[in-house]
Amino acid sequence: MRSLFSRFSYRFYFIFLFLGFGGLIALLTSLINYNLDVRSIQRELADKANQELLRKRQELSSFTSLLERTVFSLRSSKALREYIRQPNETNRSIANQLFYSVSNTNPSLMQVRYLDSKGMESIRVDWIAGKQTPDIITAEDLQDKSRRYYFLESAQVPVNSFWYSRLDLNVERKKIEIPYKPVLRIASPVYVDQQFSGVVLVNVHMKEFLENFKESATFNIALVDHDGQYLTHYQADSSWSRYLQTGHTLQDDYPNAVTSILHGTPDSTVEFVDPVYAASLGDLLVKDRAHLLLFPKIQAILGMKAERRKAMFMVIGIILLLSVPLSIAISRIPTKLNEKISRQNKKLQEYVNIIDQNVVTATTDITGTMVDVSTAFSRVTGYSKDEVIGQDPGMLRHPEVDAVRKNVIVQKIQAEQVWKGEFYNITKTGDAYWLEAIIFPKIDKAKEIAGYTAIYQDITDKKRIEQLSITDALTGLYNRRFFDETIKKEMARAMRDDKQLAFAMLDIDYFKQYNDHYGHQKGDEVLSAIGQLLQQTLSRSSDFCFRLGGEEFGLLFSGLSSEEALAFTENVRVRIAGLAIEHQWGCEEKVITASFGLLSITPAPGTTVDTVYQRADQALYRAKSDGRNRVFSDLLDQQAV
């Protein structure tokens, strides 16, 4: 009997002990929760404000990106470019239909226009109030906008850039239109054949966007410009204070907070400036340098407090309920911990797979032999992992690239330095591509280099764009801009290596007469044919040929003596004549010929590009004066220089 009583006594003792412990925890929890309630709500509001900021930035960024894609599609359209090149009625009609189609798909596009390089409206499509479809404005109703700020400003922005206006109210006949129409203008300059040809301008009705923008379950939302004027406000009578003189501005409503809001709020996070959460949107609404204001809703705060009270009571109840079976619950901790670790490992593996699929990487051993590559590496190079593992990375090198470069890279990395640079490679199918690389050594536990890891970025498209910028479109030769850069580098290289450098200028004989009698199209064919011949003849990696302007070309090569350079240039002259392109109004041969001015130099300190160019030009003049279709060779006297 005593034993049974003792067993029940101990049981009740532990029950009351756990209940007392649970009650104590519950009491402490309620007291702590009460003290932390205000700060917890502030933290939650701050978190929600940051989340709201991210959503609003995403909404605004997506909206402006859509507008930019619309303007870009119009600016880059074949129809507009054909109209600019040949502004006839047929091309204008096609361009009008394109602008009409774009406008018709989006009623928020109040006005879609193309202003020519002088600011005249050439194409204009309007959504007129009350109509179901937009109208194409006829030519006689188009206006001169050359003095309007939006043309003057948008015409000055860089190529492929976009200009935005202030967010304001639409004005008709010098009066604010009623009902109010919030408007944002976006424009981008149009360049055709590298010439400024006007701007594409879109007026966007912002009412629907702004109404959606202000929607939030937690906050009342407003936008102010950099002067503290309300653009839009959750209370309609405060909106557009700059234009409607509502008597409500940030200075009027919150004089103690206005300076901190307008000059102290960051872009990426919100800052609490009592009583509002504020953040800058100046990078998205540039002209207004706008700020987002988030006013916590009373209902949201009350809801948070109710949730916390509910959570507190639930915690107290759970603690009391779990006090007795606490020992059983403790056994669940290791299981949950193991599940968490498994989830983290799975997530980590997902990240590894993402990197493998999307980042071009390669790992080599200490000898430079590839031991591992990513899936993205195989996709770029065309080689499978099995085909490249165990191979030297040199198998990817383009034939034009010097193999000696590998030694320079290895020497730097062996000094435990990170190497950065570019690789010009070929794929398995023979296609050329460019990679930007970062290579760094792998250090083992003994602090010795165990191998190398390379991370690449495909920059082929960037290189192609760079190539276009230095290439003459007609002949395919390098242009004058690239000549100015190259001759400086080659002179410095020749001076460093103590090698002779040759520069020849050639001019097509009687080319003006050829154009006059055969036409400019035939003249362009001659230039293209000579450009192709020069490319075939100057085929070494150290040879360069340029179109310097008009019918004037330049040849730059090294490693030949003055006699060898003369023989080489003479061969080029003979090959041009050998094209046998008829020219009845030229020299006695009755075919296209060229005159050459050749300058052989060994650059030294003091040798200038201007001197080289002037001497070669003088030599060309002598070749013409001596009867054309010949090479006049000159040697730059270094002592005289």
Residues annotated as catalytic (active site), given as ranges:
551
Beta bridge pairs of residue 123: 114
Interatomic CA distance for residues 103 and 109, integer angstroms: 6
State how far the Cα of 398 lies from the Cα of 383, in Å rounded to an integer.
15
CA distance 232 to 239: 4
Of 104, 77, 111, the closest CA to residue 91 belongs to 77
Backbone angles phi, psi at 18, to 5 degrees: -65, -40
Q: CB-hemisphere CA count at 13 Å for 201?
A: 30
Question: With contact defined as beta carbons under 8 Å apart, do 201 and 185 qualify?
Answer: yes
214: tokens are 């202000």
> Residue 421 corresponds to which tokens in the numbers above?
């640079």
DSSP state of 546: E
Residues 6 or more apart whose CB falls under 8 angstroms from that of 431 comprise 382
Could you give the CA distance from residue 377 to residue 357 in angstroms, rounded to a whole number? 9
Separation CA 599–CA 614 (nearest Å): 10
Helix (H) or strand (E) holding 635: strand 631-635
- State the burial class of residue 65 (Cβ atoms within 10 Å of its Cβ: 0-12, 13-18, 19+): exposed
Counted residue by residue, the chain has a size of 641
N- to C-terminal Cα distance for the chain?
Answer: 124
Round to whole Å and give the CA distance between 341 and 21.
31
Beta partners for residue 365, in sequence order: 451
Q: What DSSP letter does each residue of 448-472 carry, written as one string?
A: -EEEEEEEEEE-HHHHHHHHHHTB-
Spatial contact of 603 and 497, defined as CB atoms under 8 Å apart: no
Within 8 A by CB and 6+ apart from 601, the residues are 494, 500, 501, 502, 503, 607, 612, 635, 636, 638
| Nearest-10 Cα torsion for 241, 244, 247, 252 | 10
**Could you tell me which of 78, 93, 108 has the C-alpha nearest to residue 138?**
93
